[in-house]
Structure 1
């Protein structure tokens, strides 16, 4: 599970504080301010960063 100061809600453009993203395998399972996660889940605290689930950096130079 990823925890950060903010989360950009992609569909609405709204900023949620704080933000959490639960990832299981290679899939995003849940996003929000307080995500239900398994007790054994590793929590990664990203501090003052902003989570942007579903967005990728497609800017590359070949």
Structure 2
């Protein structure tokens, strides 16, 4: 499942966001897409850290 999620930005960049014209938050969509996935990657890593059993063992 996690591998499928990691492929979404790559596929999206090829087919969906390969344009400049739509602006989101004042940025070209390509820049917004890159920043969005950097932020989402951080969120995914925090979730993975919370769910990792090895991390829970170190806290005790």
TM-score, normalized by the shorter chain, greater than 0.5: no
Larger RCO (alpha carbons 8 Å, 6+ apart): 1
Could you say which TM-score interval applies, normalised by the shorter chain?
Answer: under 0.3
Larger radius of gyration: 2
Q: TM-score, normalised by structure 1?
A: 0.22
Structure 1 or 2: more strand by fraction: 1
